């Protein structure tokens, strides 16, 4: 008992550090459980070296190791190991500038499977911590309920694209950098010094130019969203427009400077992307035709999968925008209950429409992909929408809105209607029955699972009782947290290819925390009974 109380006192005294630790370790622990269930190395023979990872990246990492350790760094400029010989600066800039690649340098070639595991696993922790930094630094995350920052950070770290594209870890560095870019951008727009923004944007583009380009497009939209309340400042329209465009012009100038700092790498990278990256379809030709059914996007808000059976290489596939039930519900409530300026809610609607059009229209989608349709892995910018939705969801939950019965019923009806539509379709990546891998795992470890559930429930009950006892506040609330880590964070990996040294066929779980809360007179935001699909 004393140990428990001392632990709580330590956590309370070191609240910021505790939140950072939980925000980074929670997604890492969840992925460990997932990989354990499906037999991914180091828990089994399967490997994450699938598709491009096994066919391209691992060779580049071997090249990086041999070139650095040999002391002859001229190979980074030109190498005869590239086909019959060719320049390597573009390859270096696109694939090899991540600091996580140092793990490959210090790891023996015979243990590269360990390096693959570590570089992906540690990135999940870095992504969670980065998002937590944004929430604490700019949105007073320490003032929110203790669990809110870690849950939203986990929702971002384990969102749809970040789980589905584990065979493309080169993109993950941009996902770490985006929250840092937003922190620096908001400080700049608030009148802060520009140096942090310049260097953060430059570092983002330096580590992953392709995703850095997409982040730059989003930065332009987010900057307009962030300063939109200034259009309501008292004064004539000339003064309002000056207040609105002045910080935007400043942000544009400093963005150009940030890009210019890494311009020496941009030219060869652009040439490589335009000449060597596979392109599907024609060039930039405008058309009003839809490339996907808009309603099919709803299926990616459910427990989804990585679709490999509907022309994956030729595409287009559907955008991976899954963010979990809690974050999705918070995002929906943002437009009604978040305590933010009306102009920002209008701006959020505009940004949402832009993303929606980008998904359904090929021309707009190509703008995000530098004028090309990528060969596989379509809608590579979809993770940015996931980031934005989760950020808005946090602002909603932080406001602790009270939801009337009428609003609750309307929202629940919309979710049920969407779920009914999805279930009525025949999506190859959505399993309507429990996957056999889950059934086998439960049968094999039934006693262990039951013990864990009993201990978890007992621990939660004890924690709630002690908290009620210490506060001496009578409450009708009963918090029950279920780590729905078994079926929910994704079947993306169920329909996906992994390497066993051969094929990968697995699935991953979502880690939603489902919160049930009951109050006597009204539904609170924590009061939602989420269905299996949302």
Per-residue pLDDT tens for 329-386?
899 889 988 888 999 999 999 999 999 999 998 889 889 988 877 777 788 899 999 9
pLDDT at 87: 66
3-7, 97-101, 203-207, 485-489: which range is least confident on average? 485-489
Q: Which residue has the tokens 């269930």?
A: 37
Greater pLDDT, 230 or 165: 230
User: What burial letters (b/e) apply to 488-501, b meaning 16+ CB within 10 Å?
Assistant: bbbbbbbbbbbbbe
- Give the span between the Cα atoms of 237 and 235, in whole angstroms: 7
Q: Which residue has the tokens 């996007």?
A: 297
Greater pLDDT, 503 or 306: 306
Greater pLDDT, 35 or 167: 35
Contacts of 424 (CB under 8 A, 6+ apart): none
Contacts of 502 (CB under 8 A, 6+ apart): none
**pLDDT for 127 beyond 90:** yes
CA 311, 314, 315, 320 dihedral sign is: positive
- Give the span between the Cα atoms of 265 and 153, in whole angstroms: 32
- Tokens standing for 193? 């010094």
- Give the span between the Cα atoms of 40 and 34, in whole angstroms: 8
**pLDDT for 479 beyond 70:** no
Q: How confident is the model at residue 476 (pLDDT cuts 50, 70, 90)?
A: very low
- Give the span between the Cα atoms of 290 and 27, in whole angstroms: 36
SS (H, E, C) 220-251: HHHHHHHHHHHHHCCCCHHHHHHHHHHHHHHH
- Give the span between the Cα atoms of 220 and 206, in whole angstroms: 19
Q: Region 138-162: what's the mean pLDDT? A: 89
pLDDT at 27: 94
pLDDT at 31: 92
Contact criterion met (CB below 8 Å) for 168 and 60? no
Cite the beta strand spans of 344-466 per DSSP E.
402-403
Give yes or no for a cis peptide into 316 (omega within 30° of 0): yes
pLDDT at 91: 77
- Give the span between the Cα atoms of 33 and 129, in whole angstroms: 19
Greater pLDDT, 464 or 246: 246
- Give the span between the Cα atoms of 396 and 528, in whole angstroms: 14
pLDDT at 103: 93
- Give the span between the Cα atoms of 53 and 499, in whole angstroms: 10
- Give the span between the Cα atoms of 459 and 195, in whole angstroms: 47
pLDDT at 73: 74
Greater pLDDT, 300 or 199: 199
Q: Region 456-467: what's the mean pLDDT? A: 74
Contact criterion met (CB below 8 Å) for 240 and 230? yes
Long-range pairs for 15-21 at CB < 8 Å and ≥24 separation? 15/142, 15/146, 16/136, 16/142, 19/132, 19/136, 19/141, 19/142, 19/146, 19/149, 19/150, 20/129, 20/132, 20/133, 20/136
**Percentage of residues in the chain having pLDDT higher than 90:** 31
Q: Region 200-215: what's the mean pLDDT? A: 91
Contacts of 185 (CB under 8 A, 6+ apart): 197, 219, 222, 223, 226, 251
Measured in degrees and rounded to the nearest 5, phi and psi for residue 495 equal -100, 20
Q: What angle do CA 411, 414, 417 make, to 5 degrees?
A: 150
pLDDT at 289: 76
pLDDT at 525: 37
What is each CA distance from 400 to 16, 155, 212, in whole angstroms? Answer: 21, 19, 34
Greater pLDDT, 165 or 359: 359
How many CA atoms lie within 13 Å of 270's alpha carbon, on the beta-carbon side? Answer: 10
Residue 298 DSSP one-character state: G
Mean pLDDT over each residue of the chain, to the nearest integer: 78
Nearest in space to 418 (alpha carbons), one of 293, 510, 534: 534
pLDDT at 507: 31
Residue extents of the structural domains in the chain: 2-524
**Percentage of residues in the chain having pLDDT higher than 70:** 76
Q: How far from the centroid of its chain's Cα atoms is residue 215's Cα?
A: 13
């Amino acid at each position: 008992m004393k140990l428990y109380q001392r632990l709580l006192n330590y956590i309370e005294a070191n609240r910021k550090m505790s939140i950072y630790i939980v925000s980074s370790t929670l997604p890492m622990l969840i992925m460990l459980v997932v990989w354990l269930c499906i037999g991914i190395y180091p828990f089994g023979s399967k490997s994450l070296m699938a598709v491009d990872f096994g066919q391209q990246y691992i060779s580049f990492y071997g090249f990086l190791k041999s070139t650095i350790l040999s002391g002859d760094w001229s190979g980074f400029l030109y190498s005869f190991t590239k086909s019959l010989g060719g320049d390597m600066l573009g390859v270096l800039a696109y694939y090899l500038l991540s600091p996580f690649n140092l793990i490959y340098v210090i790891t023996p070639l015979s243990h590269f499977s360990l390096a693959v595991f570590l570089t992906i696993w540690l990135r999940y922790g870095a992504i969670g911590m980065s998002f937590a930094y944004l929430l604490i630094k700019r949105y007073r995350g320490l003032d929110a309920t203790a669990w809110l920052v870690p849950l939203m950070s986990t929702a971002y770290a384990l969102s749809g694209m970040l789980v589905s594209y584990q065979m493309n870890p080169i993109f993950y560095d941009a996902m770490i950098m985006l929250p840092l870019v937003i922190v620096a951008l908001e400080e700049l727009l608030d009148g802060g010094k520009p140096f942090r923004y310049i260097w953060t944007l430059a570092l983002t583009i330096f580590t992953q130019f392709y995703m850095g380009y997409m982040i730059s497009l989003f930065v332009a939209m987010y900057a307009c969203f962030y300063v939109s309340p200034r259009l309501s400042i008292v004064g004539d329209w000339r003064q309002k427009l000056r207040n609105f465009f002045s910080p935007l012009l400043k942000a544009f100038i400093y963005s150009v400077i940030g890009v210019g700092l890494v311009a020496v790498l941009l030219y060869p990278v652009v040439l490589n992307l335009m000449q060597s990256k596979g392109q599907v379809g024609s060039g930039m030709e405008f058309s009003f035709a839809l490339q996907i059914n808009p309603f099919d996007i709803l299926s990616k808000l459910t427990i989804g999968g990585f679709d490999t059976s509907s022309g994956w290489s030729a595409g287009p596939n559907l955008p991976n925008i899954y963010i979990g039930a809690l974050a999705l519900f918070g995002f929906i409530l943002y437009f009604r209950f978040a305590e933010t300026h009306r102009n920002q809610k209008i701006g959020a609607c505009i940004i949402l429409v832009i993303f929606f059009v980008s998904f359904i229209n090929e021309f707009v989608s190509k703008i995000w992909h530098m004028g090309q349709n990528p060969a596989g892995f379509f809608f590579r910018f979809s993770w940015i929408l996931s980031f934005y939705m989760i950020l808005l969801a946090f602002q909603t939950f932080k406001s602790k809105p009270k939801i009337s019965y009428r609003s609750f019923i309307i929202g629940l009806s919309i979710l049920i209607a969407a779920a009914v539509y999805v279930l009525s379709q025949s999506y190859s990546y959505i399993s309507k029955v429990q996957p056999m891998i889950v059934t086998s795992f439960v049968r094999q470890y039934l006693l262990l699972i039951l013990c864990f559930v009993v201990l978890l429930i007992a621990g939660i009950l004890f924690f709630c009782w002690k908290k009620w006892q210490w506060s001496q506040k009578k409450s009708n609330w009963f918090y029950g947290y279920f780590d729905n880590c078994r079926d929910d964070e994704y079947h993306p990996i169920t329909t996906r290819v992994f390497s066993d040294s051969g094929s990968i066929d697995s699935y991953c779980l979502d880690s939603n925390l489902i919160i049930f809360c009951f109050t006597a007179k009204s539904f609170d935001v924590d009061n939602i009974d989420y269905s299996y699909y949302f």
